[in-house]
Amino acid sequence: MLAVVLRCWRLCLAQSHHRNHIVVFYAHLSRYSKEEPMPAKVMLAEVSRIPLPGDNVAIATRRLDAGTLISHGAHEFTLDFTVMEGHRFAIQPIHVGESLLSWNLPFGEAIQEIAPGAYVCNAGMLDALSGRSIDFALPPQPNFKDKIDTYALNEASFKPAAQVDRFSEERTFMGYRRPKGRGVGTRNTIVLLGTTSRTGGFVKQLEARLKELPSRYANIDDIVAVAHTEGGSQSPNNLELLLRTLAGFVIHPNVGAVLLVDYGMEPVTNDMVRTYMQEHNYPLDAVPHHFLSLTGGFEANLAQGEAIVRGWLDQVNSTPRTAESVANLKIALQCGGSDAFSGVSGNPLAAWVAREVIRYGGAANLAETDELIGAEPYILDKVRNVETARKFLATIERFKERVAWHGHTAEGNPSGGNKFRGLYNIALKSIGAGMKKNPDVRLDYVIDYGEQMQEPGYYFMDSPGNDLESVAGQVASGCNVIFFVTGNGSITNFPFVPTLKFVTTSRRYRLLSREMDVNAGAYLDGVSMDDLGAQTFEQTLNCAAGERSVGEKAGHAQTQIWRDWRQTSTEHLDELLHAPAPTGAPLPINLDHAPTTTIQFAMIETERGLAADQVGLILPTSLCSGQIAAMTTHMLNQKKLGQDHGVSRFVTLTHTEGCGASSGASEALFTRTMLGYLAHPLVKHCLLLEHGCEKTHNDYMRHALQEIGLDPQKMGWASVQLDGGIEAVMQKIEAWFAQQIAQSGPPTRRMAGVGALRMGLMSAGPVSPSAAQALALLTQTVVAAGGAVVTPDNAPFLSAPTYRDTLFGDQTFMPSLAYGEHMRQPGFHMMETPTSHWVETLSGIGATGVDLVVAYVGEHPIQTHPLTPVLQITADESVETRFGDDIDLVLTGAAQEWPTQILQLISELIGGHHAPKLMQQGNIDFQITRGLLGVSM
């Protein structure tokens, strides 16, 4: 008992920030004498890692309970609080004002005396953990504040560094040699490239039609769609980098042929891509290619695209793999879902292999600009020349400036998942990320996003910390193998370049062994870096020669190009930050002489009122779980789960948000939109699927639900990482939905009038005066009967005199709903719409809770929504002539009769007698806006 008393008193004294030592003493005495065994003494090296001698904190390699006695040399100390795996604790006394060091670089400054054994924590980490479900006490207050020393380049003492010596012998791999300097491919892929977001749905459907063809050809690895979010809004600020990225995709050595698809009338077109490539000397003629502009019906266009691709098959297959020098490898060095061990095991391992590739004459590409803030002394320790060092620092400053235009700081990068796994701030994250550069290697070149790598050596490419956006730039620059280092277990893949995923700990590797390629945690277990590096180098050559990565076997990938940013200065920042919020109350409109109708609708009775349909929704909480949500949705629909219990179909909403973007207004917008879908009347059963390391993880969403009065217990919850990977989480999701469906009864339908409708009203392209008046009469009919109509505040028909005169007169209105805000009262609403991007607008309208959307088409048909049916109508003869096969209703006769025609079609839709044409054909897309202040990080 005396040992227990002494141990508890020592622990009490270690918790020096507590004023009442007696209370703390008795708390520990009670714990260890009655409830728990005393922790045994352990050696520091058994339970932690110290990246470099001279560090004054250690990284816990497993969870260490409060009271653990640790022996470090001639000293012993006791942990004051339970320390999570990957988190840091002091191993030396750190006085107020002194720096906390990892890799001998500062990441914080002590704000109170820190004794050996103290759990080191800042305010950001405590805040992130307070929103998590954890079973132990956290320190009540931080003991250090963030610290990033400003780096100043000393040009007077600068000395150019030599690159590592090149090997005299050659190593080879089996690759696809391309003509006219395009390099050597590690894959031979036919790429279906949506030039802008508007043709993303088309190329994805074309891929589905052609997916089985490569298996018939020995030298064709795949046919893949590359769909992205960009180029769909007017006057994009990222135009230059978008064109550069598309050009880089086209000539990439892994591309055997490429089909570029547009409508010819977007803000970014095929002609613009062609012109850019010609002006910047991209060898377009060295790639079998075709620029396809869509006209006519969706199905006819798919047939045309299929015929073009089939015409290439023999030509693409005629290129065999041949023995090629490792000098042709260009490695993308990337990390995502990072943890405290990324800088200890995973990143150094990737850097070791990259060093060997450079010694054979190849190249490596480091990116993610904001994730190197604080690591400048390490990155610039060895540089080719002073101009390169200057350019590196200027790139970081330019990134900081762009972020500041939007009211943010680049230091806000780390996600909630990063902090949960021990990366408390940008300095720690950056220091670890910098370890993707081997200390022997010099920095040779600094390039812009997507700029071509022309020479061998080590590159830094400007990009955001957003993993997918950064990877796309590296691929456009010519990288033909991707090293993706992850601590949490990120599972992302790129469509036409193989990704080798390095996981940082053996524990995570065992949990996700089917999703990871390399167990970098073996280094922590005692395997030497040289031995592990040699194994991984051989694995890299095998992968480059055609051995499929685990991601390729899993069959999921996604593309995201550096997303557009809305501000180009701080001129309007204060106004945007303090803009008044919409009230949520419907807007008053003229209902005098409103038309009436006897048309009825077969609605479903639900807990949330009458609804047009009932679906099962799998909602990914971030971009990284979207593809798994899509795979699971497809599986459940194939099995027709729940169709005999009132669930018509399963839906997922894949998007690019939830991580790798700024916080503040854009994160609030994202959360609001997600909550709108969780509360949607069309949703009968809903499960949230997290990746596991994002900002908006499951615990984050639970808290958000509780704040608006929704019960998280009514939702399902799953995690790709924590539930053991793709196969395991898909099984869990299916089991949850099966249980919910078994417990629910059959649906009850009843007839209801137009007052039961919740309708979105949109338009794409010009709207004639007669069409605008018909839409106004439709609005009056629904609202006067007690229904709801929601329009975007930038809808073209809102400015048409015939619409305004009918509904508003001389009145002007502010929007009544924020983007993605759930509608709580019927009536007429306008939703804030920060961009002209059709899909972003439609995704916001869907979150308001509408049963369906009526879209007037004055230009070309547009993508539909995965959850909310979109009926596309027109009275434009040219649209009918060109795209009549995809239009749900061509309005005929007198304009006064058009509202009745539209309501009759809606009745057929709700009654199950009509399905939107483009929804049936799969021209579907979804994307949440970042608003006016969102920016990639």
Answer for the pair 916, 894: CB distance below 8 angstroms, yes or no: no
Give the residue, 170 or 149, on which the prediction is more confident.
170
- Between CA 79 and CA 287 the distance in angstroms is 62
> For residue 747, which of 822, 651, 682, 680 has the smallest C-alpha distance?
682
Q: How many angstroms separate the Cα of 710 from the Cα of each of 616, 618, 670?
A: 17, 17, 17
**Beta strand pairing status for 609-611 and 758-764?**
unpaired
Residue 288, token pair as written in the block:
């079998």
Answer for the pair 374, 414: CB distance below 8 angstroms, yes or no: no
Q: Which residues pair with 481 in a beta bridge?
A: 331
Q: Where does the pLDDT of residue 13 fall: very low under 50, low under 70, confident under 90, or very high at 90 and above?
A: very low
∠ at Cα 744 (742, 749), nearest 5°?
135
Q: At what angle do helices 529-544 and 347-359 cross, to 10 degrees?
A: 60
Give the residue, 422 or 200, on which the prediction is more confident.
200
Q: How many angstroms separate the Cα of 484 from the Cα of each of 66, 82, 529?
A: 34, 31, 18
SS3 label, residue 88: strand
Report the mean per-residue pLDDT for the chain: 93
Q: Quote the pLDDT of residue 39.
A: 57
- Between CA 674 and CA 537 the distance in angstroms is 42
- Between CA 914 and CA 903 the distance in angstroms is 13
∠ at Cα 841 (835, 843), nearest 5°?
135
Residue 141, token pair as written in the block:
């207050």
SS3 label, residue 192: strand
Residues 6+ positions from 427 with CB-CB distance below 8 Å: 105, 106, 107, 108, 146, 147, 148, 373, 374
Q: Quote the pLDDT of residue 23.
A: 38
- Give tens-digit pLDDT for 246-303: 999 999 999 999 999 999 999 999 999 999 999 999 999 999 999 999 998 999 999 9
Give the residue, 73 or 612, on which the prediction is more confident.
612
**CA 218 remoteness from chain centre:** 34
Q: Where does the pLDDT of residue 416 fall: very low under 50, low under 70, confident under 90, or very high at 90 and above?
A: confident
- Give tens-digit pLDDT for 359-412: 999 999 999 999 999 899 999 999 999 999 999 999 999 999 999 999 999 877
Q: Dihedral of the CA atoms 176, 181, 182, 185 (nearest 10)? A: 20
Q: Quote the pLDDT of residue 128.
A: 86
**Beta strand pairing status for 889-890 and 870-874?**
parallel
- Between CA 435 and CA 415 the distance in angstroms is 19
Residue 252, token pair as written in the block:
């990439």
**Is the pLDDT confidence value at 331 over 70?**
yes
- Between CA 116 and CA 78 the distance in angstroms is 8
- Between CA 49 and CA 43 the distance in angstroms is 11
**Is the pLDDT confidence value at 783 over 90?**
yes
CB atoms within 10 A of CB 241: 23
Give the residue, 701 or 149, on which the prediction is more confident.
701
**Is the pLDDT confidence value at 32 over 60?**
no
Q: Quote the pLDDT of residue 543.
A: 98
> For residue 430, which of 497, 361, 378 has the smallest C-alpha distance?
378
CB atoms within 10 A of CB 593: 9
**Amino acid in the structure at residue 690:** E
> For residue 258, which of 226, 234, 295 has the smallest C-alpha distance?
226
Q: What is the mean pLDDT of residues 549-564?
A: 95
**Is the pLDDT confidence value at 21 over 50?**
no
Q: What is the mean pLDDT of residues 434-456?
A: 98
Determine the number of helices (DSSP H) and then strands (DSSP E) in the chain: 28, 36
- Give tens-digit pLDDT for 721-780: 899 999 999 999 999 999 999 999 889 999 999 999 999 999 999 999 999 999 999 999
Residues 6+ positions from 534 with CB-CB distance below 8 Å: none
Please name the residue ranges forming H helices in 864-912.
877-883, 898-910
The answer to which of 5-14, 186-195, 238-247, 644-653 has the lowest mean pLDDT is 5-14
Q: Quote the pLDDT of residue 12.
A: 54
Q: Which residues pair with 108 in a beta bridge?
A: 100, 146
Q: What is the mean pLDDT of residues 822-835?
A: 97
Q: Which residues pair with 587 in a beta bridge?
A: 828
Q: Quote the pLDDT of residue 414.
A: 78
Give the residue, 39 or 32, on which the prediction is more confident.
39
* Residue 173 DSSP label: E
Q: Quote the pLDDT of residue 34.
A: 42
**Is the pLDDT confidence value at 552 over 50?**
yes
